[in-house]
Amino acid sequence: MPSNLARHFLLSEDVVFLNHGSFGACPRPVFETYQAFQRELEAQPVAFLGRELTARMRTPREAFAPYLGTSPENIAAVVNATTGLNIVAQSLDLKPGDEILTTDHEYSALEKTWAYVVRRTGARVVTVEVPMPLVSEAAFTEALLAGMTERTRVLFLSHITSPTALVFPIERAIAAARRRNIITVIDGAHAPGHIPLDLDALGVDYYSGNCHKWLMAPKGSAFLYARPQMQGILNPLVVSHGWTNQSKEPGAMGALGNSPFIDEIEMQGTRDPSAWLAVPAALAFRKEHDWDAVARSCTALAQETAARLTERTGLAPLSSPEFSAPQMVAMPIPDCDPLAIHDALIERYAIEIPVFKWKGQALARVSVQGYNSPEQMDLLVDALSDLLDLARPLSQAMS
C-alpha cells in the first residue's frame, strides 16, 4: 500500500516505484505549475520567450540560490547535470599529460564525457579506488591525496554516487585540491533536495546538480554553479544570443543583462524553460508538506530495509550509515544475473528498482521517497528473497 503522500504524485498505481534515484517523480501541484507555464507560453510565445524570458528565468535563480548556499549570480539554469558538467569539462584548457583525478564510483555518462575530453586534449584520467567499505572520511581523503601529482589539473567527484549510493565526504579533498591549484568539479546530480548544500562554504569551483531528482521539480531542471572567479573561463556548449565577445571578468555585463556566465549558458536558442520556472513550486511543495520530516522517515525506512536484506544475505553493507545516501541504498546481493532479477522484479512483482553489477558485486539500489510505504519495502524484501532464494534470515537459519 502506498503512503498517503502518494496521492500527490502521478505515479501509476500498478507499479511499486522504488527508483526515484534514476528519474524522480514530480508532485501533482508542481507538475500543474509546469504545465501552466507551458500553456502561458503557447498563449503568447513572443511575449513569453522574447520580452519576458530574461526576467522570468531570474525568479527561480533567486528562490533557489539561498537553498544552495550561494547567490543567484553564481548559478545558471541547465536542462540536466550532464549538460552542466559537460559545459565545465569541455571548457577546461587541458594539455597532453594533464591529469583528471576521479574515483571508481562515477556515473557512466560522465566517465564518457571525460573520455571525450581526453581524446580531444591528450590529458588522462587517473581513477582512484575508494577504500571499501567506506567507513572513514580520512581513508577517502587519503586515497585521493595519494592520487594527486604535480600534473593533476582537475578533481572530479560525485557528491552522491550513482552505482553505490554513497555520500562522498568531499570537503577535505576539495580544500586540499584548492591548495594545490587543482580545479574542483563536483557531480551533484543526486544532492539537491537530498542532502543540505552550502556551495560557497564548500569552496568548490564548479558544481552541477539536478532539480528533477530529489527536489522533485519537473524533468529538465538543473543548475550549474561556478565560483565567481571561475565563471570567466566557461564556454557554452551552444553559442546563441547570450554570447558576448567580451571580457568575462567578475562584474561584467552579459548580452542579455545578466552576467556573461548566465547569459551564455541560459540562452540556447528556442526551447521550453517551463521546468526551470517550476523550481519555486517544488520548493513550495516541500515546505508545505514539511519534506525535511518526510525525508527523515524515508531515511529510516531505507536503512531498515537495507538492514533486513543484510540479515538475509549476510553481505556487508557498502558503508557505515553516515556515508549512505539518506534516501537511497545500494544493497549487496548474492551473485546472480542482475538483468534476470531486475526483469523478474518488474514482470512478476511490478517492482521498479535497478539491479546491476558494480565491480563484480551484484547490487540492488532502493530509493525511498515520500510516496513509498513500509508495505512496499516488505514486498521488495520478500520478492528479492524469493528470487535470490533467501528464504529465511541468516540469523534464523543458523539457530
Residues near ligand PLP (CB under 6 A): 22, 80-82, 107, 109-110, 158, 162, 187, 189-190, 210
**Measured between alpha carbons, how far is 318 from 331 in angstroms, rounded to an integer?**
7
Structural contact between residues 211 and 79, judged by C-beta atoms closer than 8 angstroms: no
Q: Which is nearer to ligand PLP, 85 or 309 (CB)?
A: 85
Least CB distance to ligand PLP at residue 69 (A): 20
User: Helix (H, G, I), strand (E, B), or coil: what is residue 57?
Assistant: helix
Q: Which is nearer to ligand PLP, 152 or 162 (CB)?
A: 162
As beta bridge partners, residue 223 has 77, 209
Q: Provide the grid cell at 1.
A: 500500500
Q: DSSP label at 92?
A: S
Distance between CA 296 and CA 303 in Å, rounded? 11
8 A C-beta contact, residue 216 and residue 25: yes
Q: Whole-angstrom Cα distance, residue 265 to residue 233?
A: 12
Q: CB of 374: closest distance to ligand PLP in angstroms?
A: 26
Peptide bond into 133 cis (omega under 30): yes
Q: Which is nearer to ligand PLP, 189 or 267 (CB)?
A: 189
Closest CB to ligand PLP among residues 210, 259? 210
The three-state secondary structure class of 201 is helix
Cα 357 to Cα 223, 309, 365: the distances in Å are 30, 17, 11
Which is nearer to ligand PLP, 163 or 260 (by Cβ)?
163
Work out how close the CB of 105 gets to ligand PLP at its nearest, in angstroms, rounded to a whole number. 9
Q: In this structure, are strands 124-128 and 99-103 parallel, antiparallel, or unpaired?
A: parallel
Q: Of the two residues 41 and 215, which places its CB atom closer to ligand PLP in the complex? A: 215
CB of 158 to ligand PLP, least distance (A): 5
Strand, helix or coil for residue 76: strand
Q: Which is nearer to ligand PLP, 21 or 317 (CB)?
A: 21
